[in-house]
Amino acid sequence: MLDERSRQILNAVIQSYINRPDPVGSRYVTKKYDFGVSPATIRNIMADLEEMGFLSQPHTSAGRVPTDRGYRFYVDSLLNDKKCSFDAQIAQDIVKRLEGIKNDINAFFAEVSATLSRMSNYMGIAQPPKTESATFKKLELIRYKEDSIVAVLLTNESIIRSRILRVAPPLTQEDLNRIAGYMNTEYSGLSVDEIRTILTNRIKTERVMWDNLLVRAIKIYEQLLAFTDNELFMEGLFDVMSMPEFSDISRIRDAYRAIKDKHMLLRIVEDLSKTEGVQVIIGAENPIEELNRFSIVASTYGACGKKMGVIALIGPTRMDYSKAISMVEMVSNCICETLNESE
Amino acid sequence: MLDERSRQILNAVIQSYINRPDPVGSRYVTKKYDFGVSPATIRNIMADLEEMGFLSQPHTSAGRVPTDRGYRFYVDSLLNDKKCSFDAQIAQDIVKRLEGIKNDINAFFAEVSATLSRMSNYMGIAQPPKTESATFKKLELIRYKEDSIVAVLLTNESIIRSRILRVAPPLTQEDLNRIAGYMNTEYSGLSVDEIRTILTNRIKTERVMWDNLLVRAIKIYEQLLAFTDNELFMEGLFDVMSMPEFSDISRIRDAYRAIKDKHMLLRIVEDLSKTEGVQVIIGAENPIEELNRFSIVASTYGACGKKMGVIALIGPTRMDYSKAISMVEMVSNCICETLNESE
DNA sequence: ATTAGCACTCTCTAAGAGAGAGTGCTAACA
DNA sequence: TGTTAGCACTCTCTCTTAGAGAGTGCTAAT
How many beta carbons lie within 10 A of that of residue A182, not counting itself? 15
The DSSP-derived string for B236-289 is -HHHHHTSGGG--GGGGHHHHHHHH-HHHHHHHHHHHTTS-SEEEEEGGGSSSG
Which domain CATH number covers A256? 3.30.450.40
- pLDDT at site B19: 92
**In a shared domain, residues B151 and B264:** no
Please check whether strand D approaches the CB of B52 to within 7 Å.
no
- pLDDT at site A304: 72
**In a shared domain, residues A56 and A124:** no
What range defines the domain where residue A34 resides?
A: 4-66
Mean per-residue pLDDT, A103-110:
90
The domain boundary, picked from B190, B205, B226, lies at B226
**In a shared domain, residues B333 and B251:** yes
**In a shared domain, residues A274 and A188:** no
- pLDDT at site B82: 62
Which domain CATH number covers B21? 1.10.10.10
Chain A neighbors of B144, CB-CB under 8 A: 137-138, 154
- pLDDT at site A245: 79
Question: How would residue A91 be classed by pLDDT, with cut points 50, 70 and 90?
Answer: confident
**In a shared domain, residues A268 and A299:** yes
Cα gap B256→B6, rounded to integer Å: 36
Tell whether A79 is covered by a domain. no
**In a shared domain, residues A46 and A175:** no
Q: A268: burial class by Cβ within 10 Å (0-12, 13-18, 19+)? A: buried
**In a shared domain, residues A139 and A187:** yes
Q: Please name the amino acid found at residue A128.
A: P
CA-to-CA separations, A157 to A18, A47, A227, B242, in angstroms, rounded: 39, 55, 19, 41
B212: left (phi over 0), alpha (psi -120 to 50) or beta: alpha
- pLDDT at site B252: 65
* Closest partner CB to B142 (pick from A140, A144, A249): A140
Cα gap B122→B116, rounded to integer Å: 8
**In a shared domain, residues A331 and A238:** yes
Please check whether strand D approaches the CB of B23 to within 7 Å.
yes
State whether residue B111 is helix, strand or coil.
Answer: helix
Q: Are strands B148-155 and B65-66 parallel, antiparallel or unpaired?
A: unpaired
Question: How would residue A83 be classed by pLDDT, with cut points 50, 70 and 90?
Answer: low
Chain A neighbors of B256, CB-CB under 8 A: 238
Q: Please name the amino acid found at residue B53.
A: G
The domain boundary, picked from A226, A258, A278, lies at A226
Mean per-residue pLDDT, A60-76:
95
Cα gap B67→A290, rounded to integer Å: 39
Chain B neighbors of A154, CB-CB under 8 A: 142, 144, 150
Interface check for B173 against chain A (CB to CB < 8 A): the answer is no
A108-126: pLDDT as tens digits:
999 999 999 999 999 999 9
In terms of Cα–Cα distance, which of A174, A222, A168, A165 is closest to A195? A222
**In a shared domain, residues B238 and B334:** yes
Which domain CATH number covers A171? 3.30.390.60
- pLDDT at site A305: 73
A195-233: pLDDT as tens digits:
999 998 887 776 655 567 888 899 999 999 987 766 789
In terms of Cα–Cα distance, which of A262, A252, A322 is closest to A291? A252
Do residues A27 and A78 lie in contact, with contact meaning Cβ atoms separated by under 8 Å? no
Please check whether strand C approaches the CB of A21 to within 7 Å.
no
Cα gap B134→B157, rounded to integer Å: 6
A20-47: pLDDT as tens digits:
999 999 999 999 998 999 999 999 999 9
Element (H, E) at A206: none
- pLDDT at site B343: 57
Tell whether A76 is covered by a domain. no
Which nucleotide's C1' sits nearest to the alpha carbon of B22?
D22
Q: Which residues of chain B have pLDDT under 50?
A: none
The domain boundary, picked from B163, B191, B226, lies at B226
pLDDT at position A337 over 90: no
How far B164 CA lies from chain A's nearest CA (Å)? 6
Alpha carbon dihedral A14, A17, A19, A20, in 10-degree steps, equals 180
A226-273: pLDDT as tens digits:
877 667 899 888 888 778 777 665 556 677 777 878 788 888 888 998
**In a shared domain, residues A222 and A235:** no
Do residues B234 and B256 lie in contact, with contact meaning Cβ atoms separated by under 8 Å? no
In total, how many domains does chain B have? 3
Tell whether A78 is covered by a domain. no
Tell whether A265 is covered by a domain. yes
Nearest-Å Rg of the Cα atoms of chain B is 26
Please check whether strand C approaches the CB of A66 to within 7 Å.
no
**In a shared domain, residues A245 and A222:** no
- pLDDT at site B88: 80
**In a shared domain, residues B222 and B75:** no
| Max Cα distance, chain B (Å) | 87
A276-295: pLDDT as tens digits:
889 999 999 999 888 999 99
